[in-house]
Chains A and B, each alone.
Chain A
């Protein structure tokens, strides 16, 4: 079945540091890949997505590239802010399947 493995947290960074959160997946066919973010006290929000190999999703300074050869979708941001502190979830949706399969989540704390 489908599965997502993402970097265990927590991750603590200083403001303006570079962020990478690793995510790899196992899926049959050609899944769509997502990063969701949950800010404190809020619901999950879609941060970015990519639907086919070599696509790059980007939003709010975050980027992730769909790498089929390495089955990866690592999240990166060049300069994090305190307001980026949240839990980040990597997820996939396989083919025509509507179910989302999530990783365990990575708690990011950015200190001023």
Chain B
């Protein structure tokens, strides 16, 4: 069984540019989560999808971040325009049951904004 995959593994962009991160969850997992780790700090929750619906986006930093999950399969996280403080590692996770099954994490996308 394929695990959670994320693309790209690393992205370097300039301040003001746009970047789109992609996450492919494990097949059949309705729940998809985005987390972010800024250098040296905690991994923080960003948002949670159940199928194509956003259940909780309380962790999204501001309106420069837009997450979508059209069709309830893969998800994208767009940052537009990117700022220096957006640099970090963005993790995606998926699970079968909300709150009851373990979350399987992808390898993360390292975003560097210069």
Give A contacts to B, CB under 8 Å: 4, 36, 41-46, 49, 89, 91, 93, 96-105
Contact = CB atoms under 8 A, between A and B. Distances in A.
Given A43-B4, A93-B99, A99 B105 contact: no
Interface of B: 3-4, 31, 33, 35, 37, 40-45, 48, 56, 59, 91, 93, 95, 98-99, 102-108
Given A4-B42, A100-B43, 4 more contacts: A44-B91, A99-B33, A99-B45, A99-B48
Nearest to A5: B42
Given A97-B99, A100-B35, A101-B45, A43 B56 contact: no
B88 to A, nearest CB: 12
A89 B41 CA distance: 11
B48 A98 contact: yes
A111 to B, nearest CB: 23
A103 B44 CA distance: 9
Nearest to A44: B105
Contacts of A91: 43
B42 A103 contact: yes
A98 B42 contact: no
B107 A102 contact: no
A89 B43 contact: yes
Given A93-B99, A105-B43, A98 B105 contact: no
Most buried by B among A4, A97, A98, A102: A98
B107 A98 contact: no
